[in-house]
A and B are shown apart, each in its own frame.
Chain A
Amino acid sequence: MDSEKVIEIENLSKQFKDLKAVNNLNLNVYKGDVFGFLGPNGAGKSTTIRMLVSLIAPTEGSIKVFGKTLKQHRTEILSNIGAIVERPDFYGYLSAFKNLEIMGKISGKEISKNRIMEVLELVGLEKRCKSKVKTFSHGMKQRLGLAQALLHDPELIILDEPTTGLDPQGMKEIRDLIIYLSKEKQKTIFLSSHVLYEVELIANRMIIIDKGSAKVEGNVEELLDSKNVRVTFEVDDLEKTKLLLNNTLWIDKLDTAVNGKLIFNLSHGEAPQLNKYLVQNDIMVGAMIPTRSLEEYFLNITQKVSG
């Protein structure tokens, strides 16, 4: 890869008494990447992010951001990073505007009131700018978290599970905003998540970690295209569907059939074909839901590695 490295993590480890939260982790994020940082809960994602923004000190290893060592150039590096680390917490007794004004004053750049309103508009909170943050819902706090991360127009944006706790509409809005920041504003985005589907939608590169170590890293399309997708079909007549499928090759791909739902392990592009086949044979398909979870995908990866 010839692109400029924005984040270089080498042999990074963090030990908390008896727990090794991060174990010899290596990763690179390149300029313009939307980098998916995946792993199940407790995998070490947040610990890594906390080290990346200098909230905690690594036990071993090095972190370079924009080509400079974080330990030696902390202030300079942080002036070009915007981050949400875990849940978005603010001074609840202050308004959204005042919270951002305070963050702006310590961001190392001159932040005007217009800029504050601009980012509030970007996340759809301009009408609540004078409301105290303690009156905000989780989703609103999450959006305000994004606003504070974008306030000083940083090159690198680190988002730690930014859609956690949001409703589907809120999740979509955040995803759209990330895509906008990447495509329109050319920001480099480091996105931590435990939802594979989310990363699949917006990231170009990704890494999966578990128990503090990297399991797989690479291009999202290349990593996911070769995998089977689990798709749940909700049908009106389960028995009729099973009978129909018994005479076809689809039956080999059927994993479970219960409560009006059939779960298939399908290859890329097979889901629309199956849907078409069912509909043409008078089966009403109520819903078609891809259910590839990180845990399942992750299991496949580790089985492949160990096998």
Chain B
Amino acid sequence: MIKLINIELYKIFKKWRTYIGFIAIAILVPVIEFALQIEGHKSLDFMTRDLQQSFIFVGNLLNTYFVSYLILNSLSVHIPFLITLVAGDLLAGEATAGTYRLILTRPVSRMKIVSSKFIAGIIYTFLLILWLAIVSLGLGYLLLGTGELMVFRGGIIMVFAKNDILWRFLLAYGFAVLSMGVVASLAFLFSALVENAIGPIITTMAIIIIFLIISAINVDLFQTIKPYLFTSYMGSWSMFFDKPIDTYEIVKSTLIMLGHIAGLFGLASYIFYKKDILT
């Protein structure tokens, strides 16, 4: 199995499209951080203008933690697109290239092949989020330095001391891997259904966008549906920046995400196992 996963990772990292996500992050994050280094103080003053009448803000609030927190908010739409580029291609890419005929005529069970591809996709997801963390926090540290973290949570300002932040980011990025794992699993499922990678990318992104819109519209019917949409839990990483942390809600979100990953992978495996290879 490890041999198969290594092969899949090798194939993933030999494809140009794999690096689009890493390059996009390597370009976008520095651009945001440079912009905030130049203009960020004005924005921060504007955001806190009402509070400044009652409080005095001291220290370096525009620091790597603040910027990394803002960047993590891009998880909902931007990062999923980068994930689907690879996850949507894992199975459908083999169909398009005609290489199903090569690998599935070898003495390896279909379950092992689908599992190794899925695990490789999850490893890619992990590495992309790790890269996001390294670039956000690392470059932010060099450009903006450290300081206390100030975040707005449900209309309340939370301020975290310097030594109380990193572990929260660690867990937040960990949860981000989980929520992006659901996106990867969804794209993987569609990848098992079709014969080209464009379909899974578009369909996954369409589902995410539709779910996000439904969640955002304040209509009773949509609010009833909201707890059943996985996108409602994608932002749960931010709960690690609550005081105190709502462990019950975090565990619930984690289980929902894990359940989605297991369910989507199970369905994809079943479809792949039964699939007639006609390409």
Residues of A within 8 A of B (CB): 50, 53-57, 74-79, 81, 83, 85-87, 89-94, 102-103, 105-108, 148
Q: What are the interface flags for B143-165 relative to A under an 8 Å C-beta threshold, 1 for contact and 0 otherwise?
A: 00000000000000000000000
Are the CB atoms of B101 and A55 closer together than 8 Å? yes
Q: Offer 10 A-B interface pairs, CB within 8 angstroms, sorted by A.
A: A57-B274, A75-B107, A78-B107, A83-B105, A90-B99, A91-B11, A91-B97, A94-B14, A106-B108, A148-B102
State whether A50 and B7 are in contact (beta carbons under 8 Å apart), knowing that A89-B101, A148-B102 are contacts in the complex.
no
Residues of B within 8 A of A148 (CB): 102
* B229 sits at the interface (CB 8 A): no
State whether A105 and B7 are in contact (beta carbons under 8 Å apart), knowing that A56-B276, A78-B107 are contacts in the complex.
yes
Are the CB atoms of A107 and B107 closer together than 8 Å? yes
Who on chain A is nearest to B100 by CB? A55
Complex CA gap A78/B274 in Å reads 18
Are the CB atoms of B15 and A106 closer together than 8 Å? no
Which of B7, B15, B99 has a CB less than 8 Å from the CB of A89? B99
Interface size class of B (residues with CB under 8 A): 20 to 34
Q: Shortest distance in angstroms between A273's beta carbon and chain B's nearest beta carbon? A: 47
Residues of A within 8 A of B31 (CB): none
State whether A89 and B107 are in contact (beta carbons under 8 Å apart), knowing that A56-B277, A105-B7 are contacts in the complex.
no
Are the CB atoms of A103 and B102 closer together than 8 Å? yes
Complex CA gap A87/B72 in Å reads 46
Q: Shortest distance in angstroms between B142's beta carbon and chain A's nearest beta carbon? A: 35
Are the CB atoms of B97 and A106 closer together than 8 Å? no
Residues 190-225 of B contacting A (Cβ, < 8 Å): none
- Secondary structure of the A contact surface, majority rule: loop
Contacts A91-B14, A105-B7, A106-B103 known; list 20 others, CB within 8 Å.
Answer: A50-B276, A50-B277, A54-B105, A55-B104, A56-B278, A78-B107, A79-B107, A81-B105, A89-B98, A89-B101, A89-B102, A90-B97, A90-B99, A93-B15, A93-B16, A103-B106, A106-B3, A107-B106, A107-B107, A108-B107
Residues of B within 8 A of A85 (CB): 101, 105
Complex CA gap A243/B107 in Å reads 65
Which of B7, B15, B276 has a CB less than 8 Å from the CB of A102? B7
Complex CA gap A108/B104 in Å reads 13
* B171 sits at the interface (CB 8 A): no
Who on chain A is nearest to B93 by CB? A91
* B4 sits at the interface (CB 8 A): yes
Which of A57, A76, A102 has a CB less than 8 Å from the CB of B107? A76
Who on chain A is nearest to B11 by CB? A91
* B109 sits at the interface (CB 8 A): yes
Residues 1-53 of B contacting A (Cβ, < 8 Å): 3-4, 7, 10-11, 14-16
State whether A106 and B7 are in contact (beta carbons under 8 Å apart), knowing that A56-B277, A76-B107, A93-B15 are contacts in the complex.
yes
Residues of B within 8 A of A105 (CB): 3, 7
Are the CB atoms of A93 and B14 closer together than 8 Å? yes
Complex CA gap A6/B99 in Å reads 26
Residues of B within 8 A of A50 (CB): 276-278
Q: Shortest distance in angstroms between B248's beta carbon and chain A's nearest beta carbon? A: 45
Q: Shortest distance in angstroms between B184's beta carbon and chain A's nearest beta carbon? A: 21
Which of B4, B16, B101, B276 has a CB less than 8 Å from the CB of A106? B4
Are the CB atoms of B108 and A75 closer together than 8 Å? yes
Q: Shortest distance in angstroms between A78's beta carbon and chain B's nearest beta carbon? A: 4
Complex CA gap A87/B102 in Å reads 11
Most chain A C-beta atoms within 10 Å of own C-beta, residue among B10, B15, B102, B277: B102
Q: Shortest distance in angstroms between B271's beta carbon and chain A's nearest beta carbon? A: 13
Complex CA gap A94/B16 in Å reads 12
Which of A55, A92, A102 has a CB less than 8 Å from the CB of B105? A55
Are the CB atoms of A54 and B104 closer together than 8 Å? yes
Who on chain B is nearest to A56 by CB? B276
Are the CB atoms of B277 and A91 closer together than 8 Å? no
Are the CB atoms of A87 and B98 closer together than 8 Å? yes
Residues of B within 8 A of A77 (CB): 107
State whether A108 and B277 are in contact (beta carbons under 8 Å apart), knowing that A87-B98, A94-B14 are contacts in the complex.
no
Complex CA gap A83/B107 in Å reads 12
State whether A55 and B102 are in contact (beta carbons under 8 Å apart), knowing that A75-B108, A89-B97, A106-B7 are contacts in the complex.
no
Who on chain A is nearest to B8 by CB? A102
Which of A55, A75, A79, A92 has a CB less than 8 Å from the CB of B109? A75
Residues 82-122 of B contacting A (Cβ, < 8 Å): 97-109
Residues of A within 8 A of B109 (CB): 74-75
Complex CA gap A50/B277 in Å reads 8
Complex CA gap A141/B97 in Å reads 13
Q: Shortest distance in angstroms between A283's beta carbon and chain B's nearest beta carbon? A: 50
